[in-house]
């Protein structure tokens, strides 16, 4: 194939993708950029889009990684090439798909965003506990950090699931799986104070089963509580980007930093698969490396 015919084949593929799949302009532009770059590289290596084999594709992906491309970028590029060559096979331009046996690069899961213990203390202390809303928020943040709950589990938590005498909470997690999690003394004290001083003002008739109601005694939405977290983070002067699960991540990371067993953390988080919990060990290890580098005389 000549360079011009390569360009023609690329445009034909893009037209078909737009008509058959309704791809967005941004996706089509990314496809054009990826395929044109590949075609130019092939031309420099005395080949063309029609003359590609598996070895050339692997070499091209490897060259991108060597230049500093991420595994995610390589996986996206391979996905583009797969779509392109499947289309070429369907159109009868080539006999076989050269991407068929090429494995996608493994993309590491992003490490959870966590907060240091000092920042967690600042966040927990941010709500104005002189107000019912502030006292409710303080109790929610304390419980979230003490138990490692998902925000969705916290906002739907019912009063009946909290055993103040035993200091435990029954959490209904994903897949209707229930787990029993201890509540620390500090969090328990804030929840008890909230129940005495704030909740009766928010639910005068006591009719709502929800522990932390929003307006009209109904369960707060995840989005509403997320806005509350961001508000308190600003008050605390925390510039670090947060997510709704930041305190859950901090719960797991801090437990591991202080020597907790991984399987215990798995049980407390409600993870069905230990590999899901293991990602927190990477966060803990990175923290240990930073401490070592900062404080060890040969760090």
Q: Which residue has the tokens 């950090």?
A: 145
CA distances in angstroms from 65 to 9, 33, 106, 203, listed in the order given: 26, 17, 12, 58
Nearest to 84 by CA among 28, 2, 22: 28
Distance CA 283, CA 299 (A): 19
Show Cβ contacts of residue 105 under 8 Å, excluding neighbours closer than 6 positions: 61, 65, 71, 74, 75, 78
Strand partners, 210: 158
Catalytic positions are 150, 174, 245, 248, 271, 280
The β-bridge relationship of strands 162-163 and 168-172 is: antiparallel
């Amino acid at each position: 194939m000549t360079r011009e015919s390569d360009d023609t084949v690329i445009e034909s593929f893009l037209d078909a993708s737009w008509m058959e799949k309704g791809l967005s302009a941004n996706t089509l532009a990314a496809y054009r950029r990826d395929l044109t770059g590949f075609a130019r590289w092939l031309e420099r290596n005395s080949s063309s889009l029609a003359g590609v084999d598996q070895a050339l594709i692997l070499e091209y992906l490897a060259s991108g990684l060597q230049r500093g491309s991420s595994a995610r970028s390589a996986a996206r590029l391979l996905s583009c090439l797969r779509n392109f060559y499947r289309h070429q096979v369907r159109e009868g331009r080539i006999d076989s798909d050269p991407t068929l046996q090429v494995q996608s690069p493994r993309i590491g899961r992003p490490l959870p965003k966590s907060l240091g213990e000092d920042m967690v203390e600042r966040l927990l202390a941010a709500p104005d506990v002189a107000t019912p809303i502030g006292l409710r928020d303080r109790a929610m943040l304390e419980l979230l950090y003490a138990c490692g709950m998902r925000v969705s589990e916290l906002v739907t938590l019912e009063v009946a699931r909290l055993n103040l005498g035993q200091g435990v909470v029954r959490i209904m997690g994903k897949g209707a799986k229930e787990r029993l999690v201890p509540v620390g003394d500090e969090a328990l004290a804030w929840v008890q104070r909230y129940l005495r001083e704030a909740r009766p003002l928010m639910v005068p008739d006591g009719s709502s089963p929800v522990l932390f109601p929003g307006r009209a005694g109904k369960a707060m939405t995840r989005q509403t509580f997320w806005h509350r977290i961001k508000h308190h983070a600003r008050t605390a002067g925390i510039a670090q980007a947060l997510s709704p699960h930041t305190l859950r991540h901090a719960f797991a990371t801090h437990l591991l930093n202080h020597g907790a067993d991984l399987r215990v953390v798995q049980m407390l988080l409600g993870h069905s698969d230990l590999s899901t919990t293991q990602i927190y060990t990477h966060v803990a290890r990175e923290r240990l490396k930073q401490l070592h580098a900062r404080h060890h005389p040969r760090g």
